[in-house]
Structures are given as C-alpha cells and as structure tokens.
Structure 1
Amino acid sequence: MRQTEEVTFGGSGLDRAAELRGDIPALAERMQRPGARGVVFWRGKPLVSDDAARGETCAALPRLPLDHPLLASARARPVLLGREAGEVVLAYDISAWEPDAPQQEGFVDPSVQTHPDAPEGARFVELRTLLMALTPRDAELGATGKAILGWHDTHGFCARCGQPSDVTQAGWQRVCRACGAAHFPRTDPVVIMLITRGNACLLGRSPGWPEGMYSCLAGFIEPGETVEAAVRREVMEETGIEVGRVSLLTSQPWPWPSSLMLGCRGEATSEAISIDPVEIEDAQWVSRERLADAFAGLEPGIVPARRGSIANYLLRNWVADRLD
C-alpha cells in the first residue's frame, strides 16, 4: 500500500538505542551529558507545548534537560525511549502529582493540567486529541512513552508467583525478585478491517462512541489464529457477513493501552447484516459516494473515525482509490 509510513505513530525512524538498555555504565554516562533529555507524562498524558494543546501542528513534546525541576517529581526511574542526534531521550512519569484540574471521564478526556514546574505554555494533554497535531517523531515518542509507562503501572507483580517485580533493561523488562521470572512489555495484536463489497464498505459503531461515529470493524487476534482468520471470525461474529480474500495493508501502534492495529482489507461474499448487540450497536453498508460526503460533513448520521486513526486512514485511501 502506498504512503503507509504516514500512519500516525509510525514512520519517524526513532533510534531506540536497544544496545544501551542492558549496559548500565554506558547509559549512565550518556545521561550525564548536557544533551540528554526527558519527556514527561502524567497518567498517560504527555507534556506538550501550548500550540499543540490548541490542536495546531508543531513539534510539541518539550525535551527537558535531566536536571529540570519537573523531572525531580518522577515516581520511578525513567524509561529509555531512544536517541535523537546522538543523545538519549527518556520518559519520566509524574503521575503521583495531584493537579487542581482533574481528569474527565468519557471517550476522550478534554481536560488539560498545568504543573507549576512545567515550562511556560506547556500542558498535559490527552494524546488521543493530538493525533494530527504532532510531528511523526513526537507522535512516536508520545505513543511509546504512554504504552511503556502504562505497562509498568499495571504489571508491578509477577504473573507467575505474584511477588513484586523490579524494573530492568532501562525500563524494557521486569524481573521477579522471588522466582526470577522475566516479564516484557506486552503488545496485543488487533485486526482492523476495511470490508468491501462492490462500491460499498462495511461500517459499524460501538456503544459509548460519540453520536453518529462509524468506523471499520476491529477485534483482537486469538491465540493460534492467523491475521486472515481473525478478520473473517470478527466480521462474522459482529455482523454475520462472510469474508473471502483478506490482505494486510498497513499497521499502527495504538497505546490504548497496548495494541498493534493490523490494517486489513477483506472482500465480503455475503451482504445481509445480522449484528451481535453485545459486540456492536449498529452496522451498515456505506457507498463510496456517501462516505466521501461524510468526510466533507455532508452526510447526516455518519461521522467517520477521527483523523490520525488507522480506520480513518484506510477509509480515506479507499475513497481516493489509493489502497493498492
């Protein structure tokens, strides 16, 4: 598929400096350099510049020197994200801080939080609201930091014996202090599929989504299952539609909380929809012309998946006949 590197969270070519993760002296030396930098997260939200908080495209994640006072409130050792221009970049988590403006519940948290030690104009902002406001590099750093810090937040104990585990490998591994079991960050593979039949594609909506929002169907791959089999099973379970040929188009890291979205295209061999109300709220066939109108805001009742998501990317390229 053409232009696959344009998918949000992918394509920046970040040097992840994996060889430094287990080399404690070398990493410590690099953290002492004047060019070492940290990016900051609070409960999954990255610290971004004020322009990014308003949704404007710019280089948004401030890289703070490691002696910056904001980093002193980090609750654990930082995680090595990689290198930029030969200097290390680390993720710091200050989630123990209690702000005046609390988070808000819902599909997207629109609230922003301002730390008194943050650079002027910098805020903690929900990453999902920044999908089109970040440079590729900032998007990759934001997604990686959110995902790895979220993993540490929920995996502090050994899955084998239940005892506490310790962080090793510069944040990319945990080792149980009781039984010695090693645990690594998890990534859950998810198929998300553009199902077409002639000039129409199959769209569905889940309960709790914003009013009118429709998107591609998606679901987790099960153990022992191929990508192609997962596409066919999920579509059948949710809509009763049979799918024939399946092809993999592109992928997208999706840190809510730890998924890898595998963008696929499938050709439907049946048309009658029978939804599973436990899985989805509604599904419908939408013509290419109606979808184009929906992207233009001219189709009442259909709001496509938000810009920056792989679903939006697949649908826009299908409308423009750029999938192959």
Structure 2
Amino acid sequence: MALGTVTTAFSGNPLNRADHLRTDSDILGSWANRNDARFVLIADGKVLTDEFGDILWLSPSKCRFLPLGTKVFLGLDGEAPRYGAELSAAAEEFDDMFAPGKFREPRAIGLKFRHAHPSLGIIAHAKSMLSWHASHQFCAKCGAPSTLVKAGYERKCDTCEASHFPRTDPVVIMLAFHGDKALVGRGHHVPPGFYSALAGFMEPGETIEEAVARELYEEVGVRTTRVEYKTSQPWPWPSTLMIGCFAWVEDDKLTIDATEIDDAIWITKEQARDVLAGKDDTFFLPPFIAIARDLMDIWLAED
C-alpha cells in the first residue's frame, strides 16, 4: 500500500496487492471477466493512456477482441480487481482505436505528473512484471519452457519443477559531499551538459554502504567516510530499485575512471539553485522524475 511519506516518481502504488488471492485460479479466470475488473495495457514498453496522459483503464468487454498476451494480477482497488496485460502487437497499430487516448512512454507520463502519483506506481508495477515475464519464458535451471503461475508472481518449470520469481535489481545512487559542495557526474550516453548523482548496481555480498563506497572509489577515486540512506524509487527499466543515499568523502580530489563516466564536478548549493531556476545554463541537472533530483532537493532544503 502507498505510504504518505513516499514522494519519488513511480512510487505510491495505491493498490492492495492481495497476495492471499494469487493462488486462487479464479483470479486470472472468472475474476478477470467481472464487470468491475479493469486492465492497463502495455505494448512496446508503452502504456495506454487517456487524452490527459493518465492510465486508460479498460473493462473486460473492451479487451475481448484485442490480441492480449501475458496477463498479471496487480491487486485490488477497493474490492475491484486490477490487471496488467501485454498487447501482442505494435502500439502504433492500435492508437486510433483508443483516440483521443494513446500509448505513451512511461517517462513521458512521469514528466507530465512531475511528482509521485498513484498511476505512476501502478505503471511501475505492471511494466516491471510484464517485462520480467517477457524475458523469462524459459527455465534458468534446465532451459525448458516455464509456465506463469500464482497470478503472474511466479513461473514454474513443467520439466524440472523449479520455481522462478520476479526479480528487482538494487542500484545505489548517491549524492556525495565534501564541505559545502556536492558531487555530480555525467555518463557517456547522456545528453551534453547533463549532470546527475553517481550510481551503480549493487554486487552480491555487499551492504548498501559498501556499494556506495565502492562505486564512488571506482568512478571518481574518492574514499567514503559515512553513508546515510534517504529514499528509494522503483524504476521500471526493466525493474530496478534505486536506493538513494547521501555520502561524505575524505577529500575533493577526483580521479575519474573514463571507462565508467565522462566527467564529474563539485557544485555549490548556489550553483544548483541557479541551474534549477534557469539562471545558469552552463550545465543541467536531473528532471523531477529522477531520484537524483529528489536527493538534490533534500540537500537544497537543508540549512
């Protein structure tokens, strides 16, 4: 369930995930045909939205003749079941059918809302689940085809009986500090002049703190003295959990690993505020949907 303190984009899913119902065969059967059931459709990674950019929920009757592929149970809205479904066709083939609604890229939907919104939480849930099913059709143990079970929250191998469960990959993302300055960097594949918090996937056997310290040392050669968790964000590309932290380092001398990042710079609060206010265009900082922006806003709000 959604928490009042959750503010990052793609969080705030209001649905009751209703784990106790997932083993009921009626959930993907008769319940999916109830008059109060609704579906959110995804095709080519895009989400079907109404004319205002919000989820366009479809009734079972509206889905009856559509080429639906994988279906998963998302949970309950009150007592009404909600589902995510993959459209087995190109999104552009169906835009006219739902006009003025259309299929939109989730990041574009996030930029429209500019902050946490219940629909973004549902989109992250549905997109992550359906992406996992699309890439895990076969058993990782024996290679045989696997079958969707537990309303989409498990896949079962009919040959070796191994069970497989949806995965979420943890990523640490950190705003590092030395004195009154914060460290931002840019990757090799981002737009020119765009800087953000440094980040990296956690590795097996690491704590969050160890992952933050390792990434900072690997990418810019600084040694971390303290790490503080701040917030987290579901990021459905394809399914990661961004773990937002502050980190404090020993000194401000940077040794950039050019294979990891393109550049890194120290910035003051004054510089950050000017950039975000449009008074300084020498570089750019993350948009509202990025957890890096949330970390920056937390820093700027401090005395």
TM-score tier, shorter chain, comes to over 0.9
> Could you tell me how far apart the structure 1 residues matched to 2:272 and 2:242 are?
22
Alignment of 1:81-100 (within 5 A): 81-97=74-90, 99=92
Alignment of 1:165-244 (within 5 A): 165-244=146-225
Residue 86 of structure 1, CA deviation: 1.1
Counterpart of 1:117 (choices 72, 97, 112) is: 97
Tell me what 1:62 maps to. 56
TM-score, with normalisation over the residues of structure 2? 0.93
> Could you tell me how far apart the structure 1 residues matched to 2:25 and 2:268 are?
57
- Contact kept, 8 Å, 2:46 with 2:91, in 1: the verdict is no
Alignment of 1:19-30 (within 5 A): 19-25=20-26, 28-30=29-31
Residue 299 of structure 1, CA deviation: 2.0
Tell me what 1:109 maps to. none
> Could you tell me how far apart the structure 1 residues matched to 2:27 and 2:211 are?
43
Residue 93 of structure 1, CA deviation: 0.6
Q: Is the alpha carbon distance of 1:251 and 1:98 closer, same or farther for their aligned partners in structure 2, counting shifts above 3 Å?
A: closer
Q: Which AA in structure 2 matches 1:51? A: F
- The superposition leaves residues 22-76 of structure 1 with CA deviations (integer Å, 9 ceiling, x where unpaired) of 1113553432321110011012111112222xxxxxxx00111011147621123
Unaligned runs of 5+ in 1: 53-59, 101-113
> Could you tell me how far apart the structure 2 residues matched to 1:212 and 1:184 are?
39
> Could you tell me how far apart the structure 1 residues matched to 2:210 and 2:284 are?
29
- Contact kept, 8 Å, 1:160 with 1:181, in 2: the verdict is yes
- Contact kept, 8 Å, 2:173 with 2:198, in 1: the verdict is yes
> Could you tell me how far apart the structure 1 residues matched to 2:286 and 2:91 are?
32
Q: Is the alpha carbon distance of 1:98 and 1:121 closer, same or farther for their aligned partners in structure 2, counting shifts above 3 Å?
A: closer
- The superposition leaves residues 172-194 of structure 1 with CA deviations (integer Å, 9 ceiling, x where unpaired) of 11111111110000100110001
- State the SS of the aligned residue for 2:292: helix
> Could you tell me how far apart the structure 2 residues matched to 1:49 and 1:146 are?
17
> Could you tell me how far apart the structure 2 residues matched to 1:309 and 1:8 are?
7
Q: Within the alignment, does 1:41 sit opposite 2:42 as a pair?
A: yes
User: Aligned-residue CA RMSD in angstroms?
Assistant: 1.7
Residue 277 of structure 1, CA deviation: 0.7
- Contact kept, 8 Å, 1:80 with 1:88, in 2: the verdict is yes
> Could you tell me how far apart the structure 1 residues matched to 2:244 and 2:91 are?
38
- Contact kept, 8 Å, 2:44 with 2:90, in 1: the verdict is no
> Could you tell me how far apart the structure 2 residues matched to 1:69 and 1:230 are?
45
Tell me what 2:105 maps to. 126
Counterpart of 2:117 (choices 123, 136, 142) is: 136
User: What is the aligned-residue identity percentage?
Assistant: 38
Tell me what 1:279 maps to. 260
- The superposition leaves residues 99-156 of structure 1 with CA deviations (integer Å, 9 ceiling, x where unpaired) of 36xxxxxxxxxxxxx53332x3111111112214347221011111111111111111
Residue 274 of structure 1, CA deviation: 0.8
> Could you tell me how far apart the structure 2 residues matched to 1:62 and 1:96 are?
18
TM-score, with normalisation over the residues of structure 1? 0.87
> Could you tell me how far apart the structure 2 residues matched to 1:88 and 1:71 are?
20
> Could you tell me how far apart the structure 1 residues matched to 2:250 and 2:190 are?
28
> Could you tell me how far apart the structure 2 residues matched to 1:69 and 1:223 are?
42
- Contact kept, 8 Å, 2:154 with 2:163, in 1: the verdict is yes
Q: Within the alignment, does 1:72 sit opposite 2:51 as a pair?
A: no
